[in-house]
Structure 1
Amino acid sequence: MADVKQLPTRNEVPETLKWDLTQIFATDAAWTDAYHQIESKLQQVPSHKGHLAESPEQLAAGVAYLLDVYHELENVDVYASLKQEQDTSDQAAQGLAAQANDLVAKVASALAWFQPEVLAIPEKTLSEWLDTNELKPFKHFFEDLDRARDHTLPADQEALLAGAGDIFQASAKTFGVLDNADLEFPIVKDEAGNDVRLTQGVYGVLLQSTDRSVRGAAFKQLYKVYKQFQNTFASTLSSNVKAHNYTARVHHYPTARAAALAENNIPESVYDTLVEEVNNHLDLLHRYVSLRKRILGVDHLHSYDLYTPITGDSPLSYTYPEAQQEALRALSVMGPDYVSHVQEAFDNRWVDVVETKGKRSGAFSSGVYDTNPYILLNWQDNLEELFTLVHEMGHSIHSYYTRHNQPYQYGDYSIFVAEIASTTNENTLTQYLLDNNDDPKVRAYVLNHYLDGFKGTVYRQTQFAEFEHWIHQEDAAGHPLTASRMSDFYGKLNQTYYGKDLTPDPEIALEWSRIPHFYYNYYVFQYATGFAAASTLSHGITSHQPGALDHYLDFLKAGSSQYPLDVMKMAGVDMTKPDYLRRAFDVFEQRLNEFETLIDNSQK
Structure 2
Amino acid sequence: IASYEPLKLYKRSLEEVLRQKEHILDAKMEDVLSQFREIATAPSNTYAMFNNADIKFPTIQDSQGTPIQITHGNFIDLLEGHDRRVREEAFKGVYHTYSSFKNTLGTNFAANVTQYSLFAKLRNFKSPLHAALDANNIPVEVYNNLIHTMGEHMNLMHRYMGLRKEIMGVDELHMYDLFVPLVSDFTKEITYDEACSIVLEALKPLGEDYTALVKEAFENRWVDKYENEGKRSGAYSWGCFDAPHPYVLMNYTNNVNNLFTLAHEIGHAMHSYLSSHTQPYPYADYCIFVAEVASTVNEALLMQYLLKTTTDEAFRKYLVNYFMEQFRTTIYRQTMFAEFEKMVYDMHMEGVTLTSQTLSDTYYALVKKYHGDHMVVDSEIAMEWARIPHFYTPFYVYQYATGYSAAIALSESILSEGEEAVKRYKNFLSGGSSKDPIDLLKDAGVDMSTPAPIEAALKVFENLIEEMRSL
Equivalents in 2 of 1:404, 1:346: separation in Å? 19
* Maintained 8 Å contact 1:353/1:378: yes
What's the CA shift for 1:194? 4.5
* Maintained 8 Å contact 1:375/1:392: yes
| SS of aligned partner of 1:135 | helix
Equivalents in 2 of 1:556, 1:567: separation in Å? 9
Show the counterpart of 2:448.
Answer: 575
What's the CA shift for 1:143? 1.3
Structure 2: 5+ residue stretches without partners: none
Equivalents in 2 of 1:182, 1:352: separation in Å? 32
Gap change, CA 1:548 and 1:432, over 3 Å in 2: same
Structure 1, residues 10-59: CA drift from partner, whole Å, max 9, x if none?
xxxxxxxxxxxxxxxxxxxxxxxxxxxxxxxxxxxxxxxxxxxxxxxxxx
Show the counterpart of 1:535.
Answer: 408
Gap change, CA 1:278 and 1:255, over 3 Å in 2: same
* Maintained 8 Å contact 1:391/1:422: yes
| SS of aligned partner of 1:462 | helix
What's the CA shift for 1:147? 1.2
Show the counterpart of 2:167.
Answer: 295
Matches within 5 A, 1:300-311: 300-311=172-183
Gap change, CA 1:345 and 1:181, over 3 Å in 2: farther
* Maintained 8 Å contact 2:200/2:215: no
Matches within 5 A, 1:128-527: 129=1, 132-191=4-63, 194-316=66-188, 327=199, 330-331=202-203, 333-334=205-206, 335-340=210-215, 342-343=217-218, 347=222, 349=224, 369=241, 383-527=256-400
Gap change, CA 1:444 and 1:525, over 3 Å in 2: same
Show the counterpart of 2:467.
Answer: 594
What's the CA shift for 1:328? 5.3
What's the CA shift for 1:451? 1.1
The 10-residue stretch of structure 1 (393-402 or 242-251) with the greater mean CA deviation from structure 2: 393-402
Gap change, CA 1:510 and 1:344, over 3 Å in 2: farther
Q: What's the TM-score once normalised by structure 2's chain length?
A: 0.89
| SS of aligned partner of 2:353 | coil
The 10-residue stretch of structure 1 (174-183 or 463-472) with the greater mean CA deviation from structure 2: 174-183
The 10-residue stretch of structure 1 (470-479 or 319-328) with the greater mean CA deviation from structure 2: 319-328
| SS of aligned partner of 1:558 | coil
CA RMSD of aligned residues (A): 3.0
Amino acid at match of 2:218: Q
Equivalents in 2 of 1:428, 1:434: separation in Å? 10
Gap change, CA 1:597 and 1:230, over 3 Å in 2: same
The 10-residue stretch of structure 1 (391-400 or 534-543) with the greater mean CA deviation from structure 2: 391-400
* Maintained 8 Å contact 1:207/1:304: yes
- Share of identical aligned residues, percent? 41
Structure 1, residues 56-76: CA drift from partner, whole Å, max 9, x if none?
xxxxxxxxxxxxxxxxxxxxx
Structure 1: 5+ residue stretches without partners: 1-128, 599-604
Amino acid at match of 2:356: A
Gap change, CA 1:314 and 1:518, over 3 Å in 2: farther
Structure 1, residues 242-270: CA drift from partner, whole Å, max 9, x if none?
22211210111110101111222221111
What's the CA shift for 1:418? 1.8
Amino acid at match of 1:417: V
Amino acid at match of 2:214: V
Equivalents in 2 of 1:225, 1:461: separation in Å? 23
Equivalents in 2 of 1:214, 1:324: separation in Å? 37
Structure 1, residues 354-396: CA drift from partner, whole Å, max 9, x if none?
8999x88x76656655678676768787644544454344334
Q: Greater RCO between the two (CA within 8 Å, min separation 6)? A: 2
Gap change, CA 1:398 and 1:153, over 3 Å in 2: same
* Maintained 8 Å contact 1:201/1:355: no
Amino acid at match of 1:266: I
Structure 1, residues 291-322: CA drift from partner, whole Å, max 9, x if none?
11111111110111111111223343557787
Gap change, CA 1:373 and 1:228, over 3 Å in 2: farther
What's the CA shift for 1:423? 1.9
Q: Larger radius of gyration, structure 1 or 2?
A: 1
Q: Give the length in aligned residue pairs.
A: 467
Gap change, CA 1:157 and 1:269, over 3 Å in 2: same
| SS of aligned partner of 2:285 | coil
Q: Verify: 1:556 aligned to 2:399, yes or no.
A: no
Q: What's the TM-score once normalised by structure 1's chain length?
A: 0.70
Structure 1, residues 186-243: CA drift from partner, whole Å, max 9, x if none?
3444455554443323222222222222322222222233223333332332222222
